[in-house]
Amino acid sequence: MELRTGDAVAARRRAEELREQILYHNHRYYTLDDPEISDAEYDRLMRELAALEAQFPELVTPDSPTQRVGGAVLEGFAKVRHEIPMLSLANAYGPDDLREFDRRVREVVQDPVRYVCELKVDGLAVSLRYEQGRLVRGATRGDGQVGEDITANIRTIRNVPLQLREPVTLEVRGEAYMPKRAFERLNREREQAGEPPFANPRNAAAGSLRQLDPKVAAARGLAVIIYNVADAPGQRLSSHSEALAFASRLGLPVAAETRVFEDIEAVIRHIESWATARHELPYATDGMVVKVDSLSAQAALGFTAKSPRWAIAYKYAAEQAETVLRDITLSVGRTGVVTPTAVFDPVVIAGTTVTRASLHNEDLIRERDIRVGDVIVVQKAGDIIPEVVRSLPERRTGQEQEFRMPTACPECGGALERLPDEVAWRCVNPVCPAQIRERIIHFASRDAMNIEGLGEQWVAQLVDRGLIRDVADLYHLRHEQLVPLERMGDRLASNLLAAIDQSKHNSLEKLLFGLGIRLVGEKAARTLARHFRDIDALMAADEADLTAIREIGPKMAASVVSYFRNPDAQHLIRRLKEAGVNTRYLPSAAALTAGTAGGADAGEAESTGAVSPFAGRTVVLTGTLSALDRKRASEWVEALGGKVTGSVSRQTDVLVVGEKAGSKLEKARRLVESGERPDLKIMDEAEFLAILRAHGADV
């Protein structure tokens, strides 16, 4: 269709027609797997739309199919708090587990129970938010309470509609995955480029969605399957299957294989029928999810702290294969533990090629009588983690070799030792390069100091070039030292330094976990931080002080005391302090770390004898606060049980007013004066800060 330059009205009409057609054909191709037109015809429609938008730039809309190629490179991912938590599922491994699940359900639900069965796609859980039918946000699951905003990357996924067929507001949850064909193509391209292939489609999908450049994600061929309607205001939905049908009518991609059954025995037969057939699907699966269909029954069953009581994930038995063990290699971890790894002939298990599996320790090798040259049985635990199940001694030829742990470290040549009560051999050289690398990788990891961008490749280069010898050295890195690193450059160097600087402000429990103190995990680090409040008090504690804490046992207490009495550790702490790293407990950050203000640190208000006035209330911040920025203020409100929103409405309970407050304050006053919300609390900064200080904030 040819248009005159000034024919904007006709251009707008044609652009709308083209978008509707392309949206329809996207649904036919990507969701229903039933295309009606050829690829060439589809490409012609896309070219025509692109030409129109180039001629009339004012016609370009955020939801146009031409906008899926990705925008500018992101600086990082913003955090997204899930108003409805994204919980994990309890697991079942056999028919009896499913029957036990059914018994628990029927103890609560007296009416007949129907179950929905959905194939469990092996990918990354995501949440999609639509407002008035338009996609406004995509987020990762994260820890279930707080995820990452990946909207720019979600927009590149072709089977995710940017505009629904109806102007509804809703939030859906689904699984982002990489189809098998796209996975195989990506790995071929990586191998040809000299890059390591991804281990499985799930890792590839997760890595693609966490790319800061949306164009990379756009090229990866990702897809999404929706498995839940989390929130649909104004919609009268009575069952899960009805909600999925509603999502499908809106154009969202719902799995065609989903089925509803009247009893658990039918569910079991259905699951068994897919045990082998699932491998023929275009995507990887590792099980079947079984859900109670009735939404009222789901509400009656409720949740545990981690998972819904109305759903369970059935995990298929691991697929096994035989291969030949060619070698056992050794790697050194951050605590000096030397781990043996089996290297064997390539074998395909659960749809992916496997060549390596951890053997964990010398005792396991001896217990399973595993020898180099053996024919071995390999499987994937949960269809994901490769493991050596056993050797086949009856297949031996006499050429096999028994494995013996060396006496010297494979990295530095230092002595290896094994403590009487441990199965692990350790390198005891404190300056072993492998240990230094692994300690720094752990320190920078998400659950520790969360230094975004400091991955293994950068740590390896920094250690190999002598730029860092311990974690304190990270805080003394300079821009001119980073730029020459391979594939670094000016922008990445600046981003990395900013991330390192940001990590200085973490709460104490993050630092304690990042230090890698033996036996101290995330939970113990949080317990110690809450109890001692400051690292100096913890360093001065003896074993009696530590074991007086209910959650701390004698072995952990001895490990903590031994760590902090070591002169090297004391020197490290001094250097971290000098670099400006926080060594105090920050309750607001701790509550966010725990995932919710109602979680592990909900007792902060209790410890001060005060009850949080924000608990369960919706709070809006307006104007400029002089004592702290908006982000920090929001964190404190959320840590004290409140929910922060951006606009004043009839749902607002508290308005915090800073300097130069504008329309939000005026609207709040109107709500109060009109009688619509006479209980809406309007507080100034002084009152707000007084509340925060009463709950432990240093502001």
Residue 397's pLDDT is what?
94
**DSSP letters for 432-496:** -HHHHHHHHHHHHSTTTT--TT--HHHHHHHHHTTS-SSGGGGGG--HHHHTTSTT-HHHHHHHH
Residue 1's pLDDT is what?
43
* Residue in this structure with the two tokens 């739309």, named with its chain if needed: 49
Q: Which of 467-471, 484-488, 602-606, 639-643 has the lowest mean pLDDT?
A: 602-606
The closest of 645, 522, 699 to 143, measured between CA atoms, is 522
**What CATH number labels 606-694?**
3.40.50.10190
pTM of the model: 0.48
Mean pLDDT of 370-378: 95
pLDDT at residue 74 greater than cutoff 70: no
| 30 band by pLDDT with thresholds 50, 70 and 90 | low
Q: Does domain 320-402 have CATH number 3.40.50.300?
A: no
Alpha helix positions (H), 465-584: 479-482, 489-502, 508-514, 522-532, 535-540, 543-547, 554-565, 567-578
Q: Give CA–CA dist 473/48, Å, rounded.
A: 56
pLDDT at residue 71 greater than cutoff 50: no
Q: Give CA–CA dist 403/400, Å, rounded.
A: 10
Residue 32's pLDDT is what?
55
Q: Give CA–CA dist 218/443, Å, rounded.
A: 32
| Amino acid identity, position 291 | K
Q: At what angle do helices 587-594 and 522-532 cross, to 10 degrees?
A: 160
Question: What is the share, in percent, of the chain residues with pLDDT greater than 90?
Answer: 38
- Please count the CA atoms within 13 angstroms of the CA of 683 that sit on its side-chain side: 19
pLDDT of 589-630, one tens digit each?
444 444 333 333 433 433 333 456 787 788 898 888 887 777
pLDDT of 192-215, one tens digit each?
555 566 767 888 888 888 877 777
Question: Domain 508-585 - what CATH class?
Answer: mainly alpha
Q: Can you read off the two tokens belonging to residue 580?
A: 């400006």
Tell me if domain 91-96+112-268+278-313 and domain 433-505 are identical in fold: no
pLDDT of 514-532, one tens digit each?
998 988 887 788 889 988 9
Residue 342's pLDDT is what?
95
Helices (H) and strands (E) in the chain, counts: 26, 24
Count other Cβ atoms within 10 Å, centred on residue 587.
26
Higher-confidence residue: 31 or 232? 232
Residue 206's pLDDT is what?
85
Catalogue the active-site residues. Answer: 120
| Amino acid identity, position 350 | A
pLDDT at residue 326 greater than cutoff 80: yes
Residue 530's pLDDT is what?
84
Residue 422's pLDDT is what?
76
The closest of 267, 244, 294, 298 to 112, measured between CA atoms, is 294
| 33 band by pLDDT with thresholds 50, 70 and 90 | very low
Phi-psi region of 78 (alpha: psi -120 to 50; beta: other; left: phi over 0): beta
Higher-confidence residue: 8 or 35? 8
| 3 band by pLDDT with thresholds 50, 70 and 90 | very low
Residue 551's pLDDT is what?
74
Q: Which of 222-236, 628-642, 644-658 has the lowest mean pLDDT?
A: 628-642
Q: Can you read off the two tokens belonging to residue 482?
A: 């980073």
Q: Give CA–CA dist 677/201, Å, rounded.
A: 51
pLDDT at residue 470 greater than cutoff 70: yes
Residue 68's pLDDT is what?
59
| 97 band by pLDDT with thresholds 50, 70 and 90 | very high
pLDDT of 531-582, one tens digit each?
898 999 999 999 999 998 877 888 889 999 999 998 889 999 999 999 999 9
Mean pLDDT of 157-175: 92
Mean pLDDT of 41-56: 79
Q: Give CA–CA dist 261/112, Å, rounded.
A: 11
Average pLDDT of every residue of the chain: 84
CATH fold of 433-505, please? Answer: DNA polymerase; domain 1 (1.10.150)
pLDDT of 221-249, one tens digit each?
899 999 999 999 989 999 999 999 999 99
Residue 38's pLDDT is what?
64
Residue 557's pLDDT is what?
92
Residue 593's pLDDT is what?
41
* Sign of the dihedral defined by the CA atoms of residues 45, 50, 56, 58, in that order: positive
Question: Domain 91-96+112-268+278-313 - what CATH class?
Answer: alpha beta
pLDDT at residue 370 greater than cutoff 50: yes
**What CATH number labels 8-69?**
1.10.287.610
| Amino acid identity, position 147 | G
Q: What residue ranges do the domains of the chain occupy?
A: 8-69, 91-96+112-268+278-313, 320-402, 433-505, 508-585, 606-694
Residue 311's pLDDT is what?
95
Query: Secondary structure of the chain: what % helix, strand, coil (to 5)?
Result: 40, 20, 40
Residue 167's pLDDT is what?
93
Residue 73's pLDDT is what?
41
pLDDT at residue 63 greater than cutoff 60: yes
- Please count the CA atoms within 13 angstroms of the CA of 174 that sit on its side-chain side: 23
